Amino acid sequence: MARPDKAAAVAELTEMFRRSNAAVLTEYRGLTVAQLKQLRRVLSGNAQYAVVKNTLTAIAAREAGYEGLGDDLKGPSAIAFVTGDPVEVAKGLRDFAKANPALVVKGGVLDGRPLTAAEVTKLADLESREVLLAKAAGAFTASLYQAAYLFTAPAAAAARVVDALRAQRAEEQAAA
């Protein structure tokens, strides 16, 4: 029978998995307490960063319906439970890992689908949601301008032809 404190920890981790839309698993071996505090501050707007016990986390992930994390749960592990923008969290982890090479991204889960460390890096390379929406709006606006040009082009071409005929007539009458 499980001890009550471990059962409570598993229940808390399970709830954190269920509340989050993504989770990124990291290894923090070699980081100081001050560096971990700084990392928590970097991620605070979009994620909660928690040091976890591997066995309890594997049980909680299984209970929450996340498969594929068990292989990465080796060594000292911490998880960023993402409740905000997963791209921003991935970027924050990538940038922090560049400054502090002791932080290693092991993998994660996004919308119930397991991610490798390489996929988390690809996620970090994406542009933010706002930039992607702005690009989509720009593409939509450009296609509207193109459609407007296509609709007005025949009329403008006809006006140029009529103007050229008028100029030609005027030259013919002036020559005669």
- List, run by run, the mean pLDDT of 10-residue segments along the chain (176 residues): 79 88 88 90 87 87 78 84 87 89 87 83 77 79 76 80 86 82
Same domain membership, residue 24 and residue 97: yes
Please identify, among 86, 104, 126, the residue that sits at the C-terminal boundary of a domain: 126
Distance (Å, rounded) from C-alpha 156 to C-alpha 49?
61
Q: Which residues of 104-121 are buried (b: 16+ CB within 10 A; e: fewer)?
A: ebbbbbbeeebbebebbe
Domain range spanning residue 168?
128-176
> Helix or strand or coil: residue 79?
strand
Question: Do residue 118 and residue 163 come from a single domain?
Answer: no
pLDDT for res 1: 41
82 and 143 both lie in a single domain? no
Reported pTM: 0.68
CA–CA distance, 41 with 23 (Å, rounded to integer): 17
**Domain count across the chain:** 2
pLDDT in the model for residue 6: 85
In terms of domains, do 138 and 91 share one? no
Among 90, 76, 75, which residue's Cα sits nearest to residue 22? 90
- Cβ contacts of 58 within 8 Å, gap of 6 or more: 69, 70, 73
Within this chain, do residues 135 and 97 fall inside the same structural domain, yes or no?
no
Q: Are residues 160 and 78 in the same domain?
A: no
Same domain, 134 and 121: no
Tell me: do 71 and 105 sit in the same domain.
yes
